Amino acid sequence: MKIPYYPGCTLKTTAKPFEDTTKAVSEVLGIELLEMPRWNCCGTVYSLASDDLMHQLAPIRNLIRVQDMGYDRVTTLCSMCYNTLEQANQLVKGDPEKLEKMNSFMDQEKDYTGGVTVVHYLTLLKEMGFDSLPVKNPLKGLTVVPYYGCLLLRPEEISIDNPERPTIMAELLAALGATVVDHPYKLECCGSYHTVDYKEVVCEKTYHILSSARKRGAEAVVLSCPLCEFNLDFRQKDLEQELAPMPILYFSQLLAVSLGLFDALGFDQHYVDPEPLLKEKGLLR
């Protein structure tokens, strides 16, 4: 399968292991990720003001690029990119007047016709069937909790799963052989961009999310958002007195481990190194 791929800024910097492991996995699964030649920032947060079209231009311009490539779907990894691209997409699909205004503003581009769908990589895997994954190194003995956060699931219109009771990541992790436990903080916002201006809020959220996961017996937390990863991982630095270290992993890193792909895990980019845990379980070579 060939599909255009929108990386976004953070997948090229602090979340490089997320991209690298996904690329390695995709190669094995026969998913040819066609990185868009001229992608631009999606805006990171969807603009919620009814009079603001200016901030919708960036996401829509990316969708025009997908259209130019001759495809009607694009996949992405970052929860924030997914959310912003698809919310903007649904806005213009449902409002021809706004779409026309934006098209005439971007007169150097071809008009966007509203024919592109943004598909999160987890959805792509689900379509292929989690049970069909060629697992070589099952994650036996590893107990994990999925952490969904906000932007894969809310608002409801763009949700990749049931927005209040999602199972998609749990299904994937179970198919990889891990023991998956549920926990009540799986949907709870980590504090998001307040990591810049209200760090203490993020520390408090991180404490609650991780201690809840630990109480349920989790040895690692699995997620799909580079900002959640930073908050839950790096903010543990300020919680060392209160919390034993909890490894935070992208789902693609565990997927790579389970497929026997150990070359691009990028554990050195984490604050809490997941390697000792995975070695203890005999999952790393």
Partner 1 sequence: MIPKISKETTLLDKTEELSGEKIFSCHKCGKCSAGCPVGTLMDVRPHQVIELVQANDWSVLESRTIWLCASCFQCATRCPKDVDLTRVMEALRLLVLRENFDHIRISEISKEELRELPPVALVSNFRKCTG
* Per-residue binding letters, 6-35, with partner 1 (x by CB under 8 A): --xxx--xxx--------------------
78: contact with partner 1 by CB under 8 A: yes
Select from 197, 240, 263, 268 the one that contacts partner 1 (CB under 8 A): 197
Select from 49, 97, 107, 240 the one that contacts partner 1 (CB under 8 A): 49
Backbone angles phi, psi at 225, to 5 degrees: -130, 125
* Per-residue binding letters, 228-247, with partner 1 (x by CB under 8 A): --x---x-------------
Identity of the amino acid at 54:
M
- Whole-angstrom Cα distance, residue 48 to residue 259? 40
* Per-residue binding letters, 145-184, with partner 1 (x by CB under 8 A): -----xx-xxxx------xx--------------------
196: contact with partner 1 by CB under 8 A: yes
Closest distance to partner 1 from the beta carbon of 219 (Å): 24
88: contact with partner 1 by CB under 8 A: no
Select from 23, 28, 34, 55 the one that contacts partner 1 (CB under 8 A): 55
187: contact with partner 1 by CB under 8 A: yes
CA angle 143, 144, 148 (to 5 degrees): 165
Q: Which is nearer to partner 1, 105 or 193 (CB)?
A: 193
Select from 30, 37, 38, 51 the one that contacts partner 1 (CB under 8 A): 51
- Whole-angstrom Cα distance, residue 270 to residue 148? 19
The tokens for 19 are 């991209």
Backbone angles phi, psi at 128, to 5 degrees: -75, -20
User: Which span sits near partner 1 by CB under 8 A: 64-72, 137-145, 194-202, 276-284?
Assistant: 194-202
Directed axis angle between helix 199-215 and helix 226-234, to 10°? Answer: 80
Q: Specify whether the backbone of 31 is left (phi greater than 0), alpha (psi in -120 to 50) or beta.
A: beta
CA angle 138, 255, 34 (to 5 degrees): 150
CB-CB contact of 24 with 256 (8 Å): yes
Encode 44-62: b = buried (16+ Cβ within 10 Å), e = exposed.
Answer: bebbeeeeebeebbbbbbb
Closest distance to partner 1 from the beta carbon of 28 (Å): 27
Q: Which is nearer to partner 1, 131 or 196 (CB)?
A: 196
- Whole-angstrom Cα distance, residue 51 to residue 7? 28
Q: Which is nearer to partner 1, 192 or 253 (CB)?
A: 192
- Whole-angstrom Cα distance, residue 44 to residue 76? 13
274: contact with partner 1 by CB under 8 A: no
CA atoms 138, 142, 143, 148: torsion sign: negative
50: contact with partner 1 by CB under 8 A: yes
The tokens for 278 are 């995975």
Closest distance to partner 1 from the beta carbon of 230 (Å): 5
Enumerate binding residues for partner 1 (CB under 8 A).
Answer: 8-10, 13-15, 41, 43-45, 47-51, 55, 78, 80, 150-151, 153-156, 163-164, 187-189, 191-198, 201, 204-205, 226-227, 230, 234
